[in-house]
Amino acid sequence: MCICINCQHVKDCTTYKIILIQHNQRVSSKSNTIFTPSNTLIQININQNLYSMKLEWDLVECASFVEKPGFWLI
């Protein structure tokens, strides 16, 4: 699970924006992606079946993480 959703920086984080793009999610043009976190570790899970392959991108470690549960919902 991506730790970004419980981070205070989720709304302005460049790494989270990259993860959203990789998930083909809409990225708000109004978002100010001005925060660049340090020492991040992204885990990419590969789910493959006979006909397709899906990549799941999750940020699992970040030195800039500041816990604020549910901040992404606001």
pTM over 0.75: yes
Task: Please report the pLDDT score of residue 64 as a whole number.
Answer: 95
User: Which residue segment(s) compose the domain that 42 sits in?
Assistant: 3-73
Domain count along the chain: 1
Element containing residue 53 per DSSP (H, E): strand 53-62
Instruction: Per residue of the chain (74 residues), give pLDDT as tens.
Output: 788 888 999 888 999 898 988 888 877 766 677 899 999 999 999 999 989 999 999 999 999 999 998 777 76
Task: Please report the pLDDT score of residue 2 as a whole number.
Answer: 84
* Angle ∠(19,57,62) on CA atoms, nearest 5: 70
Which one-letter amino acid corresponds to residue 69? P
